[in-house]
């Protein structure tokens, strides 16, 4: 009984931007729990590489090229996915960008670009996927938030503004759609060992030392550490969980940090 609560067999999951990194790790977890995987990207080459990776580990996966910020493209591709693969039971709004620029130096255009991808696109994709979920009587939506949904940090003002907004959008989606048996929640990753962080995850690098000392678990997260959270929030096990942000951060947000003399 308890194992069946996490079984995603027969479900179709759309993971936006799920072609590498944390998005791919979460998609693999959902696939291993039984779901059919659908990912999107702006690049056909990136999709082809991702689909080859999913196939190599025995997962059923499909790829579509479209821009999550273009509502007409989103609507058209949702229709294609549901006609060709199946109704979207699980949506993971994972696509995102970051621009590291001090506020006084950041252009309005760059700030707007981050807000558009990281906050407006989850609104666009969710509202259009949710219409089908409402008609079918349920679904799961997971917004990929961040520790920057709770904390500020130098040079990431647009990202923090977007992720803080996404936290509240998640809560409002839950408020509006829970009555339709749609559970809307978020995952807030901490600092993870990915190809992007490899250059700074070396002994002696100041940021590496900072993350290890700042994290109660005393390590970087492994991308697979996100899979349990993604499966839980996609499965029957979370049918009465709504509007929650699950931080997978090794305990960073739980503590003020170690004193300097420790």
- Per-residue pLDDT tens digits for 26-36: 999 999 999 99
Query: Which one is predicted more confidently, 258 or 221?
Result: 221
The pLDDT of residue 198 is 87
Is 159 an annotated catalytic residue?
yes
How far is residue 96's CA from residue 118's CA, in Å, rounded to a whole number? 5
pLDDT tens across 53-97, in order? 999 999 999 999 999 999 999 999 999 999 999 999 999 999 999
Tokens representing 37? 């995987």
**Out of 55-59, 164-168, 198-202, least confident range:** 198-202
- Identify whether the C-beta of residue 188 lies closer than 8 Å to the C-beta of residue 246: yes
The pLDDT of residue 262 is 61
Judged against a pLDDT cut of 90, whether residue 41 lies above it is answered with: yes
Report which of 66, 49, 6, 54 is spatially closest to residue 27, judged by C-alpha positions.
54
**E strand intervals along 116-169:** 139-144
Q: What is the DSSP string of 57-104?
A: TT--EEEEE--TT-HHHHHHHHHHHHHHT----EEEE---------GG
Q: How confident is the model at residue 259 (pLDDT cuts 50, 70, 90)?
A: low
| Mean pLDDT value of segment 215-243 | 97
Judged against a pLDDT cut of 70, whether residue 260 lies above it is answered with: no
The pLDDT of residue 226 is 98
Report which of 189, 74, 159 is spatially closest to residue 122, judged by C-alpha positions.
74
Tokens representing 241? 């969980």
| Mean pLDDT value of segment 133-140 | 98
Helix, strand, coil percentages (3-state) for the chain, rounded to 5, are 50, 15, 35
Q: Which of 54, 62, 64, 159 is catalytic?
A: 159
Report which of 193, 226, 188, 227 is spatially closest to residue 211, judged by C-alpha positions.
193
Sign (positive or negative) of CA dihedral 202, 204, 206, 208: positive
């Amino acid at each position: 009984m308890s194992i069946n609560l996490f079984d995603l067999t027969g479900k179709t999951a759309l993971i936006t931007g799920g072609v590498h990194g944390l998005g791919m790790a979460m998609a693999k977890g959902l696939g291993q729990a039984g779901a059919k995987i659908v990912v999107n990207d702006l690049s056909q080459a990136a999709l082809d590489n991702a689909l080859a990776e999913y196939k190599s580990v025995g997962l059923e996966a499909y790829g579509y090229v479209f821009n999550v910020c273009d509502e007409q493209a989103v609507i058209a591709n949702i229709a294609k996915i549901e006609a060709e693969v199946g109704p979207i039971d699980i949506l993971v709004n994972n696509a995102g960008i970051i621009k590291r620029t001090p506020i006084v130096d950041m252009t309005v255009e760059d700030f707007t670009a981050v807000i558009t991808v990281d906050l407006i696109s989850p609104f666009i994709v969710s509202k259009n996927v949710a219409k089908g979920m409402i008609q079918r009587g349920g679904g799961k939506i997971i917004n990929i938030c961040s520790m920057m949904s709770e904390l500020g940090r130098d040079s990431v003002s647009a990202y923090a503004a977007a992720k803080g907004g996404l936290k509240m959008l998640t809560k409002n989606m839950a408020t509006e759609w829970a009555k339709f048996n749609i559970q809307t929640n978020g995952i807030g990753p901490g600092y993870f060992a990915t190809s992007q962080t490899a250059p700074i995850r070396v002994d002696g690098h100041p940021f590496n030392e900072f993350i290890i000392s700042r994290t109660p678990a005393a390590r970087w997260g492994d991308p697979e550490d996100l899979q349990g959270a993604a499966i839980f929030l996609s499965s029957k096990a979370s049918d009465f969980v709504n509007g929650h942000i699950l931080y997978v951060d090794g305990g960073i947000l739980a503590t003020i940090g170690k004193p300097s003399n420790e």
